[in-house]
Amino acid sequence: MATTTRTVVGQLSEVVPFLEAGVLGRSRSASAEAAVDLGTSAGGIAVRGYERFSMMGNNRVGMSVTAIQDGPYVHIVGITLGGSQAMFLKLNTIGEEEFLATLNSTISQWEEEHPGG
C-alpha cells in the first residue's frame, strides 16, 4: 500500500476532472471503476476508484482518490493497494508506487498551471 496527501487551491468541480484525466492519461491500462460525489456545507467530497494492470508485478493495482472541498482548498488523498506478491507480507510494491506517482504528477501539474489558485 502506498499513500499520498496533498492540498491544492481550486474548486472541486475543476480539480476532480483534471485529476481523472491525468490519472487515466498517464497509464494506458488504467480505468475508472467507481465514482461517488457528495455535497456538503463546505463544498463537497468526491471519491474515485481506479484500477490498472502492473507490468512489473504482472497483476492488477487499485487506487482510491478522495478529494474534499474546504473553502478555497481541495484536500486530496490517494491510496493504492493490491498488486503486491506473497501471501503474508508485501513484496514487489513497485506497481502500487508507480500508480500513485501518476496521481502525484497530475497534482504537481495542477499546481504549476494554477499557482496560488
Q: Which amino acid is at 117?
A: G
Instruction: Tell me how far apart the alpha carbons of residues 72 and 15 are, in angstroms, rounded to a whole number.
Output: 12
CATH topology for the 2-107 domain: Protein Transport Mog1p; Chain A (3.40.1000)
Neighbours of 86 (CB within 10 A): 8
- Determine contact, residues 27/54, Cβ cutoff 8 Å: no
Instruction: Tell me how far apart the alpha carbons of residues 67 and 80 are, in angstroms, rounded to a whole number.
Output: 15
What is the length of the chain? 117
- Determine contact, residues 15/8, Cβ cutoff 8 Å: yes
Distances (CA, A) of 32 to 21, 22, 64, 117: 10, 12, 10, 27
pLDDT tens profile 52-76: 986 666 678 899 999 999 999 999 9
Instruction: Tell me how far apart the alpha carbons of residues 34 and 37 are, in angstroms, rounded to a whole number.
Output: 10
Q: What is the pLDDT of residue 27?
A: 86
pLDDT tens profile 11-36: 999 999 999 999 999 988 899 999 99
Backbone angles phi, psi at 89, to 5 degrees: -150, 165
Write down the pTM of the prediction. 0.88
